[in-house]
Structure 1
């Protein structure tokens, strides 16, 4: 049995098309009625908001950051229930956030989603779904470092929020209006400093933290923001570095320690910038190409073009090691280089642009069996363009019975000494799969054994239709 596993926080397989774990992006996105409008990622996971207002999540899920109400890693994006009319998503570390068209802010993941005890199906892996931050309203955009967040309101003011615990260890969320902030358009948190981009394209900084008391400042302690730079259209943050996109298409780097502005050589005609992890800057050029700068790899590192990306219309960063993008065709893409991450798998040296792997992000799957919608907690998979599901998924609704037996070898010298055989039965038909044989088509994903659904349906004479453009799977027994 083949295993797809986690090694620490490195998700070995997700969004991989070479091999391939995911359906061909060309085929999957051809007729998609919805397009990605916003995307983000934390450590080894991703979330995306779509033009129909829905949100999907995938990847590493220990803290419920995917948003499906479990701690189960999801190898195929899942639609997040309870979220509607979402226009922006943000992620940092292991926490996720969404802004709706109505100006609401929703949060889930580390610090925001608590365990749900006593669930009969998932007694140890059930976790809360996204919840609304009641202290925020009329919000147009947010920024977060995973610990605290700042919301920009429709009137140009801003509010800081963060989690704290009282003397009885009860969790609360504190909301602090940022005094003196007006005309704000976007905001990012850089360490303990807020960087505020104004509607007048002026960048200002505001100290958020009281080092003496070891806490965030109260409203009375906040000072007026200081002007850092003018003529700025976008900002991107990575740890102690801020990157500023000028209106003329050039990029500046500002370091919080040196307090100096330097021009990033080799980047001109830029329309968007994003950071990934602690050492990568991604820049989208006006011609639709994407450029990467590994700025912490020594003084000689220079921006280079990311191969395999063209006709790109928007890019998004993550706090992992993967970039996200959408192209003119509406295809949702992920790419990485040199490292395994929760969003894509690369190989080779991170310094070599030829090792970049560009993958297509699979649509979230929906399941209808005999005319009824079916949902299940465990992850599904797409391997070699085929659907894989755990036995606790659609088989019960299909009327398929599953049996499992271990058959010992009669030959004492045989290797292995026993074989594990799964049998799927529907009426008079049966399909048996020996998981100990090479190419048995049985995989182990995220603590679940998953089986080749299409192969089983074909053998049992059950009709299965999978619309790869929309993710809809319809099964008729």
Structure 2
């Protein structure tokens, strides 16, 4: 697949020095974009969905799909990437609001999604859930989608736009809309194009920039705040090399690699330390060496030549990726240990391609636009489960399961109750495929030894479970164990699931939660202690973003970043300051900014948006990480643990992954589950030996697993049933590679850490 990059045109021996400088810069940028080392080529973040192109040219999208914006010929939302129909040769992509467009290898273009005013360019106003050709467009080199219009840059330096034109956003000198591409007035030497919601801009080969359309916030940069149906020149900008447009603001990188922005500035999206809007370019403070730029609705991001990313502006939903939800008037670094290749700002989220070819997103995730199979806000970058990788892994005592991005699942370890799901009861030290699971989006395991079960979410948001069922934990209305998956009765709209010992809980897309199975300590949260073989609602729980179950209790994170727990509380694991058992949820006291929770046998830990961790409950084995064996019925901070990207709690140990790519564990270590090469109990976090480039970690009862950025999977600790997955038995006190999962991507947060 080739990448299109237009170089400034002039006879080499007659070029001006400025044109030569711009040509060299463009060639450098082209070399970066065209690097064959990348496994992903392009990414675009929209209002409620995201899209990416693999190096093969295949495109995938994820998130909200009510208008067919994912391009898979359905209207079903997806929290993980789905393949765009019939588009295996995409070269570039642009998405904004409710439609998406792509340039194909060869210079034609296709669009899909909402089409109320002709923004798909197919000559109609019919919306399409799969790509349709843009009529009459050839020689396209790039494309830019606005809210209700679209523009394309052609190889001859001209530009064409189509769709709504009430603000002059087509650039044709009038306000008439067009269902097919029409030429932008006076543009013949453009080398880049960008569209905001209701305006567009092109970069010309002499380094100047012209814009047209809505100018009410000053986003045209011509010194006025009025609309213009024809291109007008941005004041004082003569050496631009990159441009980007957002909702009502625009930014450019200059030849000295500094950044200037203009337009709306209510949230500091101009990056100059103020909230004063400007109709002429102002310098974004503290940025140098910029090589890429993107503008979202009310925030902006840039990549610098050292591969690092910085963002500024609106951060109410974590779209700056700095670990907070505090808006910033100047640039702050995105918290990631990996180098960035490209970046794209959406309405309230941001996505990026990393140099290793993987995709990552952060910010609002209400519609699944982060692509990590969750719905919770992510204030740090979260890995997108791209094609060719696995979507999740889950570990418990005795067995483990992993889900490939294709939707197929494999399990390994103990199989006495059929928990491997392959139709028999034969245990395996190697991964074996689960029967009938070819399109799942998440997988979890629970219980221990022969008393274990597994569950998977299907793409229609229903749930299937298999394995041990003496307590009704499979949710099919029976108490019969199953060696192959059965559907959980009456459960739809499942967002996430967690499997405990003898019971299972799920949270729904509407923010409610349901549980089923064993309930002797009220662990179903239904207000009683009677078991149920089909789902029952968790009383009084709304705004749920994730659930975590364990032996005898369960916890949930909520949209307001608080945590509620219910069930057995003998060690204070509910975190409400008592040791009383509760049959319905109680709030964890003194805990705010919680974005993830993980429940263990007798303790619980939460990851906060600040990148720190708090734990509560039993500390007898050091599992609270406070440096001593003290217990606590309220959250206590784990000292000296910062920059945390994920948390997972096992039976009596805890593990955390960091944004530096390392893992630290603490607590019980008799089976080597801390991975530090010893079997010594640890009261404070210790590094797991030899683990680098880790993006997520999952702790089982007495073992642990981690996923690396290159897609490999490592496990360590107890291995009596082969659950380490390396083909052997006997415990391992240091990480071992799991066989058969060289392309694994772990999704943390839906695990069962017993």
Taking structure 1 as the reference length, what is the TM-score of the superposition? 0.64
Equivalents in 2 of 1:113, 1:424: separation in Å?
Answer: 56
Q: Does the aligned pair in 2 maintain the 1:143–1:151 contact within 8 Å?
A: yes
Residue 41 of structure 1 corresponds to which residue in structure 2? 45
2:110 pairs with 1:102: no
Number of the residue aligned with 2:456: 388
C-alpha distance in structure 2 between counterparts of 1:330 and 1:64, whole Å: 27
Map of 1:42-121 to 2, 5 A cutoff? 42-111=46-115
1:261 corresponds, among 267, 273, 281, to: 281
Map Cα deviations across residues 143-199 of structure 1 (whole Å, 9 max, x no partner): 1213101111111111111169xxxxxx98232111311111121234544311113
Residue 182 (structure 2) aligns with = 176
Q: CA deviation at 1:421?
A: 2.5
Distance across 2 between alignment mates of 1:45 and 1:384: 29
Distance in 1 of aligned mates of 2:56 and 2:255: 31
Cα distance in structure 2, aligned partners of 1:60 and 1:79: 14
Unmatched segments (≥5 aa) in structure 2: 1-36, 119-126, 166-176, 216-227, 265-276, 317-325, 388-404, 410-432, 447-453, 467-471, 492-496, 515-738, 746-754
Q: What corresponds to 2:134 in structure 1?
A: 133
1:310 aligns with 2:338: yes
The 2-side partners of 1:336 and 1:39 are apart by 16
- Counterparts of 1:230 and 1:423 in 2: how far apart (Å)? 74
Offset, 1:296: 9.1
2:311 aligned with 1:292:
yes
Identify if the C-alpha distance between structure 1 residues 145 and 431 changes in structure 2 by more than 3 Å, giving closer, same or farther: closer
Contact 2:441 2:459 in 1 (8 A): no
**Change in CA separation of 1:391 and 1:102 when aligned onto 2, cut-off 3 Å:** closer
Question: Matched residue of 1:96: which SS?
Answer: strand
Cα deviation digits, residues 8-66 of structure 1 (max 9, x gap): xxxxxxxxxxxxxxxxxxxxxxxxx9722111121221110111010001111111111
Change in CA separation of 1:339 and 1:290 when aligned onto 2, cut-off 3 Å: farther
Q: Which residue of 2 aligns with 1:150?
A: 151
1:237 aligns with 245
CA distance in 1, matches of 2:233, 2:459: 59
Once the two structures are TM-superposed, the CA of residue 342 in structure 1 deviates from its matched residue by 2.9
In structure 1, the partner of 2:590 is none
Contact 2:243 2:252 in 1 (8 A): yes
| Within-5 A mapping of 1:373-384 | 380-381=441-442
Alpha carbons 1:142, 1:186 under 8 Å: kept: no
Map of 1:359 onto structure 2: 382
Query: Which residue number in structure 1 is paired with residue 369 of structure 2?
Result: 342
**Contact 2:498 2:504 survives alignment (8 Å):** no
Q: Secondary structure at the match of 1:180?
A: coil
Q: Give the equivalent residue in structure 1 for 2:477.
A: 421
Question: How far is 1:391 from its partner?
Answer: 9.1
Q: Is the 8 A contact 2:191 2:203 kept in 1?
A: yes
Larger radius of gyration: 2
1:231/1:361 CA distance change after superposition, 3 Å: same
Question: Does the C-alpha gap of structure 1 residues 235 and 367 become closer, same or farther in structure 2, counting only changes over 3 Å?
Answer: same
Contact 1:424 1:432 in 2 (8 A): no
- Per-residue CA distance 1:213-241 (angstroms, 9 max, x = gap): xxxxxxxx965653542100111222221
Deviations, residues 437-462 of structure 1 (Å, cap 9, x unaligned)? 97445646669x9xxxxxxxxxxxxx
Q: Which is further off, 280-289 or 327-336?
A: 327-336
Q: Say whether the 8 Å CA contact 1:70–1:127 is kept in structure 2.
A: no
Name the CA distance, whole Å, in 2 between partners of 1:86 and 1:466: 30
Query: Over the residues paired in the alignment, what is the CA RMSD in angstroms?
Result: 5.2
Q: What is the rounded CA distance, in whole Å, between the counterparts of 1:260 and 1:93 in structure 2?
A: 26
Q: Give the number of the structure with larger relative contact order, counting CA–CA contacts within 8 Å between residues 6 or more apart.
A: 1
Measure, in 1, the Cα distance between the counterparts of 2:198 and 2:185: 16
Indicate yes or no: 2:322 matched with 1:282.
Answer: no
Distance 1:235 1:222, change over 3 A: same
**Alpha-carbon distance in 1 for matches of 2:65, 2:202:** 31
For 1:374 and 1:98, the matched residues in 2 are separated by: 32
- Tell me the SS of whatever aligns to 2:380: strand
Write the distance in 1 (CA, Å) between the matches of 2:327 and 2:76: 41
Moved more, 136-145 or 198-207: 198-207
How far apart, in 2, do the equivalents of 1:102 and 1:58 lie? 25
- Of 208, 211, 221, 1:205 maps to 211
